[in-house]
Amino acid sequence: MTRIITYTANPAIDVWAQCDQIVPTEKTRVRDVRYDAGGGGINVARVLTALGADALPVYLAGGATGPLFETLLKRTIPKGEVIAISGDTRLSEVVYERSTGRELRFVAEGPVITAQETAQVLDHVRRTLDQASTGDWLVASGSLPRGLPARHYRDLAEMAHAKGLLFALDCSGEALRTSCREGRIDLLKLSKSELGEITHHPLTDRASVETAALELVGGGRIGRVLVSLGPQGALLADKHGLAFAPAIPIEVKSTVGAGDSFLGGFLYGLTRGETPADALATAIKAGSAACLNPGTQLVDRGQFDRLG
């Protein structure tokens, strides 16, 4: 069975709650508070595990909040590899305001990683990849904490390819630009806005999105580009051309973690032997299933199956 190793440099303790109304300067009483281990690669691993795939999360955690994060993670994934750091694992908060239907998100920047810790991270990942098999995946997802260089994901890609693994990436900002400019990526997951940012195209319609995605693939560094288009669906570009999958009409409770669930669903489909086009439809199902739940609950297998 293909194994998927996920890497999360800046995980978070996700706190979700709801209230009736937020009034500035007044106390806001929240209820139904939920705590989850989250962050890009952690969420991908949670989705894969819920769907029955073999996922191993590798992540940085430490400080006063690190042990809490590890306890929360073990509720959903019994195995994982923590790379200890001195800084506190961050907390991210989402508050759902019932009177307006708005979700207010407060995302902390996270710890500072020292040069010594950076070297330890690379060494740990290298040793983990030594235990992997040719054809397995390394999935790097999420933001980089302060201290890790923008080339960090590019370095991980080189490490994965040297061991015969495939490399998937989902990030933004300078880390994304550096990886696309200097690295080799087998699967790149993007939002529409991220695609426009790195290709410098005005994405006004689906045709312009398709053109930009094919341009990335045509550059030779990126094997497949997976683009989430929200309520418009998603598309996939590779050397064979384009595939499109429409969105599934659902009542959206929350979009927290939907992008991570989308990526996890696509990888799940590939590891089951689905064609890329079929895996794209599976990705839509997984992303939609995450949106059926409030807050940070992500994918429930029963809901996933009922979506077709």
Sign of the alpha-carbon dihedral angle for 112, 117, 119, 121: negative
Hey, which residues are catalytic here? 260
Own/partner pairs for 237-245, CB < 8 Å, 24+ apart? Answer: 237/210, 237/213, 238/276, 240/276, 242/210, 242/213, 242/214, 243/276, 243/277, 243/280, 244/206, 244/280, 245/277, 245/280, 245/281, 245/283, 245/284
CA–CA separation, 137 and 261 (whole Å): 16
Neighbour order of strands in the sheet with 222-228: 81-85, 54-62, 3-8, 137-141, 166-170, 185-191, 222-228, 234-238, 241-245
Please give the torsion angle defined by the CA atoms of residues 108, 60, 173 and 298, in that order, rounded to the nearest 10 degrees. -70
